[in-house]
Amino acid sequence: MSVIALNDGYQGEVKDREENFHGNRLLFIGWEDHLMFCAPHCIPVSPTMTFATLANEVIPGIYSSHPDWDKVAIGEIEWFRSNERFAPEFGRTLGENGLQHKAVIRFRTPGLTGINGSCS
Amino acid sequence: MSTNNAAPKKLSIKDNYAMLTRGLGWDTTYQPMDKVFPYDKFEGIKVHDWDKWEDPFRLTMDAYWKYQGEKERKLYAIIDAFQQNNGQFNVTDPRYINALKLFLTGVSPLEYAAHRGFALAGRNFRGAGARIACQMQAIDELRHAQTQVHTISHYNKFFNGFHDFKYMHDRVWYLSVPKSYFEDAMSAGPFEFVTAISFSFEYVLTNLLFMPFMSGAAFNGDMATVTFGFSAQSDESRHMTLGLEVVKFLLEQDPDNVPIIQKWVDKWFWRGYRLLTLVAMMMDYMLPKRIMSWQEAWETYFEKNGGALFHDLERYGIRMPRYHDVAMKEKDRISHEAWGIFYNYTHAAALHTWIPSDDEMKWLGEKYPNTFDKLYRPRLEYWREQQQAGNRFYNNTLPMLCQLCQIPMAFTEPDDPTKICYRESDYLGNKYHFCSDGCKDIFDNEPEKYVQAWLPVHQIYQGNCFEKDADPTAADFNPLAEVMRYYHINVGEDGHEFEDSPDRKNWLRWTGKPSHGGEKTPETGHAEKAT
């Protein structure tokens, strides 16, 4: 389907093009079963950041205030790119791991189901 | 014209209305009608006979001014009395004021936008009856905006967060939700605009805004809001009638209109429903004295009344809006999910949040037996513990937003309230994310329009939400503080935890009444007590 507009060929400006983010791109991150964080997060990242940096530094910076975080073993995390399971290569960059601008990473920490098992 | 000197016979209301809406209209001859009314064809709606337009109220301009003048006199007399009697201190407790902050700062600019939208629609219809109805509604909406601004002005003298509503409307993250909703409608064609606002919002959903909110205000002692609510209500009934009339008229004019209207009904039901998430949260969490739960309101005003309406429309070939079944599945969660958003990010808002008292949690548990105790109580109790230990939880990383409704992506899968609902589309090499199938469908139908959404989080990261004198290269640059400065939100006053708020301290000092008056709750925290 396409837009119903007064003039043919109407096309709005793409507001969130990658080049508008000053060398960064957006990455969305959500921790499954931990909805105390009300929604997934949005962060700007450098495409050259390694997955290891993301997993070992950036993600703990966002989520370590959760009481489950101390029990998380980074090596056991199940990663999803959008809805599909994927096995990231930690030494490679986000771009090389297929995480383009506005990609979604969801991660699951098996056995951890939030505050009193409430998925919070 | 008669030369008879006898007084002219007074016209009946019916004749008077007919003269106004038919006798005063004409077809232009110096310019073709299509050039004079260039915007009423591109949407594909076919109108064969504008004279079939019937306004059940048959309101003429002289009668309109008379009625509205009377309403205004009564309204301002009551608002004056409210002000002179310090009515703002008769509300249940200062938590209630935060519901008002959200309502008045979120909705008042929409009233003004509706004024503009109806003026525009009125200009664009070639039928005089529709033009007159739109003109009256445009004036009504301006009146509503005005009365609400007077209420804002009064509450602003005593409470934080009201001081810059118009400026904030164009910038602050959660106000982008109502703003983008209305701008979507205003930037559509005139027929989609009236279907969106007059029918889908005013007719189908407005009871969910007005009934709970105005009864809630009355229940919580807020006579200023009740008064403008009642004053607006009589206009609302006219608007609702217009909404139904518009849709029936269009459906009767041509069978080709039916699928177009159905698509708009689907779209604007979903957009309006998502917007009402804010109302759900007010009802369940922000009114100290509760009237009914969101779930009960949804069952009464949508499932029952809306169901009957769509049953009536079946004979025109219109069915229930798509995804109404999803709304039904979500009715025992969205208020809790929304309160989670505001609790997480209240330090970046112009209103306060808090943990419900034990009594209030008991009420929530009774109203939401399938979800509250299992899914939401544990997080609220954990947050309360943390707060009491001096470690109030704030989420310091910005949230992912839905491209369409612009609400943080807090909504969960229709069949699993423990999983965030992620939907996405690829368009011209970019990804777009949505909170629901409803929002995704709207995008997929008109991606050219929604790629230009001004998403507050993305705008912050593009560097567009700082004041001109901010220097992002400075060593001590604090992006969150700078965004608050750009929002005109005063850190430490307007947002964050209610317990620590100046609003609460002032209330205790000025009124000597408890700050949790809705329920028996001991005063906690370190606010000074009244002496």
pLDDT digits (tens, 9 = 90+) for B330-350: 999 999 999 999 999 999 999
User: By the CB < 8 Å criterion, does A46 face chain B?
Assistant: no
Flag if A116 and B428 touch (Cβ within 8 Å).
no
Least confident stretch, A16-20, B221-225, B374-378, B391-395 = B221-225
Q: How far apart are the C-alpha atoms of B424 and B443, rounded to whole Å?
A: 10
**CB spacing of B343 vs A38 below 8 angstroms:** yes
User: How far off is chain A from B422, nearest CA to CA, in Å?
Assistant: 8
Residue A101 has pLDDT above 70, yes or no: yes
CA distance to A2, B91, B528, per residue, from B86 (Å): 55, 10, 22
* B295: pLDDT strictly greater than 50: yes
Is the confidence at residue B2, as pLDDT, over 60? no
Residue A91, classed as helix, strand or coil, is: coil
CATH number where A97 lies: 3.10.20.560
Question: Does the beta-carbon distance from A103 to B378 stay under 8 Å?
Answer: no
Task: Please determine, for residue B91, whether its predicted confidence score (pLDDT) is greater than 50.
Answer: yes
- B507-523 average pLDDT score: 78
User: How far apart, in whole angstroms, are the C-alpha atoms of residue A119 and residue A116?
Assistant: 8
Which residues of A fall within a CB distance of 8 Å from B410? Answer: 35, 38-39
Please indicate whether, in this complex, the C-beta atoms of A16 and B455 are within 8 angstroms of each other: yes
User: Has residue B523 got a pLDDT over 80?
Assistant: no
- The answer to whether position A59 is within a domain reads yes
B18: CB partners within 8 A, 6+ apart: none
Of chain A, the percentage scoring pLDDT greater than 70 comes to: 99
Structural domains counted in chain A: 1
Mean pLDDT of chain B: 92
Does B461 sit within 8 Å of A26, measured CB to CB? yes
DSSP string, B370-424: TTIIIIIHHHHHHHHHHHHTT------SPBPB-TTT--BS--EETTEEEEE--EE
- B451, closest residue in chain A (CA to CA): A14
Q: Which of A38, A41, A82, A84 to mutate to test the interface with B (most CBs of B within 10 A)?
A: A38
Question: Distance, in angstroms, between A24 CA and closest chain B CA?
Answer: 9
Grouping H, G, I as helix, E, B as strand and the rest as coil, residue B311 is helix
Residue B424, strand partner residues: B433
Gap between the Cα atoms of A90 and B398, Å rounded: 25
B520-526: Cβ within 8 A, 24+ apart: B520/B359, B521/B357, B521/B358, B521/B359, B524/B388, B524/B499, B525/B499, B525/B500, B526/B500
B449 to A33: CB separation less than 8 angstroms, yes or no: no
- Tokens representing B230? 């009642």
CA B294 → CA B107, B290, B318, distances in Å?
19, 10, 27
Question: Model confidence over B452-493: pLDDT tens digits?
Answer: 999 999 999 999 999 999 998 899 999 999 999 999 999 999
Tokens describing residue B113: 């936008």
Determine, yes or no, domain membership for A6.
no
> Is pLDDT larger for residue B159 or for residue B524?
B159
CA A82 to chain B, closest CA, distance in angstroms equals 8
Of B335 and B51, the structure prediction assigns the larger pLDDT to B335
pLDDT > 70? residue A25: yes
For B397, the closest of A21, A36, A43 (CB atoms) is A43
Mean pLDDT, residues B56-74: 88
Which among B378, B451, B452 has the least Cβ separation from residue A115?
Answer: B378
CB proximity list for B470: less than 8 A, separation 6 or greater: B477, B482, B485, B486
pLDDT at residue B232 in the model: 82
Tell me whether residue A103 is in a domain: yes
Q: Which residues contact A110 (CB under 8 A, 6 or more apart)?
A: A76, A78
Mean pLDDT of B167-186: 97
Of A3, A14, A120, the CB nearest to B446: A3
Contact status of A9 with chain B (Cβ, < 8 Å)? no
> B451 and A12 in contact by Cβ < 8 A?
yes
Residue A15 domain-assigned (yes or no):
no
A57-68 average pLDDT score: 97
Question: Is B379–A35 a contact, with Cβ atoms under 8 angstroms apart?
Answer: yes
Choose the closest CB to A4 out of B43, B383, B418: B43
A15 with B454: Cβ contact below 8 A: yes
| For range A41-54, the mean pLDDT | 97
In B, which residues are within 8 Å of A1 by CB distance?
Answer: 444-446
**Residue B469's pLDDT is what?**
95
- Tally the residues of chain B: 531
List the single residue in A12, A38, A120 with the smallest CB-CB distance to B448.
A12
Q: Are strands A103-108 and B416-420 parallel, antiparallel or unpaired?
A: unpaired
Chain B nearest CA to A110, separation (Å): 15
Helix residue ranges per DSSP H, chain A: 51-53, 59-63
Does the CB of A36 have a partner CB in chain B at under 8 Å? yes
Question: B397: which chain A residues are within 8 Å (Cβ-Cβ)?
Answer: 41-43, 62
Whether the complex's predicted ipTM surpasses the cut of 0.95: yes
Chain B residues touching residue A22 (CB < 8 angstroms): 462-463
CATH class of B61-511: mainly alpha
Highest mean pLDDT among A48-62, B77-91, B241-255 belongs to: A48-62
Count of beta carbons in the 10 Å neighbourhood of residue B68: 17
Residue-level pLDDT at B22: 82
Q: How would DSSP label each residue in A15-37?
A: TT-GGGGTT-EEEEEEETT-TTS
**What pLDDT, on a 0 to 100 scale, did the predictor assign at position B212?**
79
Residue A11 lies in a domain: no
If you average pLDDT over residues B216-228, what whole number do you get? 86
- Is B449 in Cβ contact with A20 (below 8 Å)? no
Residue numbers of the domain that contains A109:
29-117
pLDDT, tens digit, 9 for 90 and up, residues B348-407: 999 999 999 999 999 999 999 999 999 999 999 999 999 999 999 999 999 999 999 999
The span from the CA of B423 to the CA of B199, in Å, is 28
Q: Are B103 and B213 contacting, i.e. CB atoms less than 8 angstroms apart? A: yes
Q: pLDDT for B108-144, tens place per residue?
A: 999 999 999 999 999 999 999 899 999 999 999 999 9
Beta-carbon separation of A100 and B431 below 8 A: yes
Largest CA distance in chain B: 89
Q: At what angle do helices B61-84 and B223-253 cross, to 10 degrees?
A: 150
Average pLDDT for B21-26: 84
pLDDT of B227 higher than 90: no
Q: Which residue of B has its CA nearest to A32?
A: B419
Q: Is A98 on the interface with B (CB under 8 A)?
A: no
B516's CB contacts (< 8 A; 6+ apart) are B93, B95, B288, B357, B523
- Give the pLDDT mean for B406-411: 98
Nearest to B457 among A33, A37, A42 (CB): A42
Is residue B519 very low, low, confident or very high in pLDDT (cuts 50, 70, 90)?
low
A64 touches chain B (CB under 8 A): no
A5 touches chain B (CB under 8 A): yes
**Which chain B residues contact residue A101 at CB under 8 A?**
430-431
The string of pLDDT tens digits covering residues B179-208 is 999 999 999 999 999 999 999 998 888 888
Select from A46, A120, A95 the least CA-distant residue to B374: A120
C-alpha dihedral sign at B352, B357, B360, B361: positive
Closest residue in chain B to residue A40, using alpha carbons only = B400
pTM of the model: 0.95
Residue A16 lies in a domain: no
φ, ψ for residue B428, nearest 5 deg: 45, 45
Report pLDDT for A1: 63
